[in-house]
Amino acid sequence: MSSHDLKDSNLSHVDQKGKARMVDVSPKTPQLRTARAEGFITLSKKTIELIKENNMKKGDVLTTAEIAGIQAAKKTPDLIPLCHPLEISKIEVTVTLNDRGAAASGMVRCIGRTGVEMEALTAVSTALLTVYDMCKAVDKDMTINNIRLIDKTKEDL
């Protein structure tokens, strides 16, 4: 895309010269915004059993991953350059085991002028990375996949 094309486009995250910029959301009306995301990490049967029995050397994998996801959601603007700092009012991260591995889900809510989908995705991604970190000594075949936004909503106040 040439700089001429950029001047005529409606891309909100680039300026007239094609340089990245943070979008000005100040004209928007604050709304209740919620986003939910999910993802999965495949684990060996041995790893699943060690987690269930709380015998992983690094400690309680599921609780640690959930806390890491909460922390990550709060740090999203520090990690993703064009994300706005938001006053988050609620974060929920849940990591559960099944017979193939661990599923992570996250929900983030705020009253603001822009959405919280990046915060929900960051929460899930970091929760799964934490599972990976805590299990890497015993499981060399883990795979993180299917991280996705489930939904996002905005409601007038």
Neighbouring-strand partners of residue 135: none
Burial class (CB in 10 A: 0-12, 13-18, 19+), 15: exposed
Distance CA 128, CA 23 (A): 30
Burial class (CB in 10 A: 0-12, 13-18, 19+), 47: buried
With contact defined as beta carbons under 8 Å apart, do 84 and 60 qualify?
no
Annotated catalytic residue, options 60, 99, 133, 139: 133
Burial class (CB in 10 A: 0-12, 13-18, 19+), 1: exposed
- For the question of residue 133 being annotated catalytic, the response is yes
Distance CA 1, CA 22 (A): 20
Token duo for residue 87: 């006053």
Could you give the residue numbers annotated as active site?
Answer: 133
